[in-house]
């Protein structure tokens, strides 16, 4: 069996370093390692095992299926299912001891009924909409929901959480406002004589909250992108971090399958969007949008060849990309390595840089590359 010419390399050492980096900044708060979406493209189970070895108190996944995969791999820490539930998922939730994150009252009666049938009790966390308008209950609905949870048999409220909408914003005013509203709501609940919050875990801090706003740590923090070596605000975060910056854990490499010379005036790729202005040496790479290297990188991105930057020319195809290596010093060889993401020699292309070329964010870059290509784990 032949391996693909395209490979995503994941550094276990970088993952361990990044977890320790986050752990050191969490204070007394527990760390829930976010491993959803296949560990942001780095591998769900492998990342969870690494983070568990470093002391992760819990894991965050998007779907029940991801939680089941962690349990079947032998992970015993609490696993939070964050992206919502439907009634048909409850049996698996109970069987695999997964923690539901509840966003409204609709699921509560069925959760209670099935938990009673199983002969046990299920602990849940309630998610509050802190200003994203995406998922969760409105703050005004929280007291009623808490009372309903406390009244229903076999349900136990173990925590209340929210999610910052703007921790990539370097202006702290918005984050401070969201945090104050969340903690004010908690205080109002604590002052309500009809509500018991004994042992309840409160958490709101994602990577941005953890790294930039120490007051947001509360009982638990939920780093995601930081565990994989990137900052929510992108390159400004790395620039301001100094020598102890997070370490990107992913490298995406391919091989040169042809080196060819074309004359000036040669049109390249679909749509002939680039025409050579001089005699040009091209490196042909067996990678394209099928591998997550999107068409938006056409005539914009750069690739590392022989430790030097070389521009992508012409449109990125499904499985092929052209790179102008005319100015690259050193032998550009058939079969040689080309780096799409990561370091080669003294040069580095980051996911933030790729994101700027793709008009997106580093999260999408990592998920695309990691989930569409075979991963190899190093060190």
User: Which residues are marked as active site?
Assistant: 36, 270
CA 296-302-306 angle, to 5 degrees, is 150
d(CA 205, CA 354): 26
93 burial type by CB count under 10 A (0-12 exposed, 13-18 middle, 19+ buried): buried
Residue keyed to tokens 């799409």: 340
What six digits make up the tokens of 179?
Answer: 């945090």
């Amino acid at each position: 069996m032949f391996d693909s010419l395209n490979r995503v390399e994941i550094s276990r050492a970088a993952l361990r370093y990044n977890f320790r980096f986050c752990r050191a900044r969490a204070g007394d708060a527990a760390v829930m390692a976010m491993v959803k979406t296949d560990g942001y493209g780095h591998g769900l189970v492998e990342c969870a095992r690494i983070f568990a070895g470093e002391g992760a108190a819990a894991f965050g996944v998007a779907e029940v299926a991801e939680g089941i995969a962690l349990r079947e791999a032998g992970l015993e820490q609490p696993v939070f299912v964050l992206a919502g539930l439907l009634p048909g998922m409850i049996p698996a939730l109970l069987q695999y001891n997964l923690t539901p994150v509840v966003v409204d009252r609709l699921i509560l009666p069925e959760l209670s009924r099935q938990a009673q049938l199983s002969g046990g009790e299920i602990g849940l966390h309630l998610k509050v909409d802190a200003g994203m308008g995406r998922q969760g209950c409105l703050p005004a609905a929280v007291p009623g929901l808490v009372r309903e949870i406390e009244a229903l048999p076999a349900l136990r409220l173990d925590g209340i959480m929210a999610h910052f909408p703007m921790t990539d914003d370097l202006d702290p005013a918005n984050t401070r406002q969201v945090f104050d509203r969340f903690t004010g709501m908690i205080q109002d609940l604590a002052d309500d004589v009809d509500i018991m919050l004994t042992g309840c875990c409160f958490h709101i801090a994602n990577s941005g909250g953890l790294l930039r706003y120490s007051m947001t740590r509360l009982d638990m923090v939920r780093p995601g992108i930081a565990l994989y070596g990137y900052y929510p605000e992108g390159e400004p975060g790395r620039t301001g971090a100094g020598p102890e910056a997070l370490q990107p854990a992913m490298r995406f490499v391919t091989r040169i399958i042809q080196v060819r010379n074309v004359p000036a005036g040669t049109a390249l790729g679909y749509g002939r969007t680039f025409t050579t202005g001089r005699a040009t040496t091209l490196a042909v790479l067996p990678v394209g949008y099928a591998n997550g290297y999107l068409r938006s990188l056409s005539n914009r991105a750069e690739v590392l060849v022989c430790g030097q930057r070389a521009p992508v020319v012409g449109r990125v195809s499904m499985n092929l990309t052209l790179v102008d290596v005319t100015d690259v010093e050193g032998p550009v060889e058939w079969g040689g390595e080309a780096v799409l993401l990561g370091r080669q020699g003294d040069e580095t292309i980051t996911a933030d840089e790729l994101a700027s070329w793709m008009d997106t964010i580093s999260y999408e870059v990592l998920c695309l590359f990691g989930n569409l290509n075979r991963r190899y784990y190093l060190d």
